[in-house]
């Protein structure tokens, strides 16, 4: 889930548990990772109305919550802050990811694309290339990309995430083999 909420210092609760601040989940590479299914999101900020949204999240999709917190009217009572604690199953926050590149590559001339072949173990992992979701057959993905640097991120529940930048050259094949390591308990 991605949060596009103003102000960014609103406090986020998921199913009654404290998740963090909006600012932790609103960037290009930032997400609030929540299991698929029914959830209740609450946003709290002193001096503002409590915002609650019930939603159903589908597996493998990113849902964006867009909201602007409403200030309390004169004399309106302060809402009660949800009393959530950190969720017992919430993994520690991942390390910050690099900022997205601000340069845009011009479309390559005909025939100058490169090929990126990625093999991932275990299979059915989430593969993001330049923040876009990709899938292939079983454990392998092959795609044509414009020459230049591309960010590859791989995630799967129960495994440590993987993040790297690869350089694709026109007319060449770049191979990347990724084996995710299980999270240590």
- Indicate the SS3 state at residue 23: helix
Which domain range does residue 121 map to?
114-179
The answer as to whether 59 is a domain residue is: yes
Q: Report the SS3 class of residue 105.
A: coil
Per the CB < 8 A criterion, the answer to whether 70 and 7 are in contact is no
Reading the block at residue 133, the tokens are 């979701």
* Residue ranges in the chain modelled with pLDDT below 70: 27-29, 84-111, 135-139, 185
Q: At residue 22, what are phi and psi to the nearest 5 degrees? A: -50, -40
74 located within any domain: no
Asked if the structure places residue 78 within a domain, the reply is no
pTM of the model: 0.46
Give the pLDDT confidence score for residue 34 in this predicted structure. 82
Which among 158, 106, 101, 160 has a CA at the least distance from the CA of 131? 101
| CATH number of the domain bearing residue 37 | 2.60.40
- Burial (Cβ within 10 Å: 0-12, 13-18, ≥19) of residue 155: middle
What is residue 49's predicted lDDT score, i.e. its pLDDT? 93
Give the pLDDT confidence score for residue 138 in this predicted structure.
60
The 3-state secondary structure of 118-145 reads EEEECCCCEEEECCEEECCECCEEEEEE
Q: Which residues contact 155 (CB under 8 A, 6 or more apart)?
A: 125, 126, 128, 161, 162
Return the bridge partners of 129, or none. 132, 152
For residue 185, the model assigns a pLDDT of: 59
Q: How many domains does the chain have?
A: 2
């Amino acid at each position: 889930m991605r949060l596009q909420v103003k102000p960014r210092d609103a406090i986020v609760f998921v199913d009654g548990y404290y998740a963090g601040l909006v600012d932790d989940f609103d960037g290009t590479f930032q997400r609030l990772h929540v299991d698929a299914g029914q959830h209740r999101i609450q946003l709290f900020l002193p001096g503002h109305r409590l915002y609650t949204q019930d939603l159903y999240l589908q597996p493998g999709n990113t849902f964006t919550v867009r909201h602007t917190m409403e200030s309390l009217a004169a004399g309106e009572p302060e809402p009660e802050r949800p009393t959530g604690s950190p969720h017992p199953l919430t993994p520690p926050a991942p390390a910050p990811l690099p900022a997205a590149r601000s340069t845009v590559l011009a479309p390559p001339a005909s025939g100058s694309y490169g090929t990126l072949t990625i093999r991932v173990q275990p299979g059915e992992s989430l593969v993001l290339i330049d923040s876009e979701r990709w899938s292939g057959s079983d454990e392998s993905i092959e795609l044509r990309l414009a020459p230049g640097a591309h960010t590859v991120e791989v995630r799967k529940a129960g495994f440590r995430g993987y993040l790297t930048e690869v350089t694709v050259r026109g007319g060449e094949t770049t191979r990347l083999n990724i084996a995710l390591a299980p999270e240590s308990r």
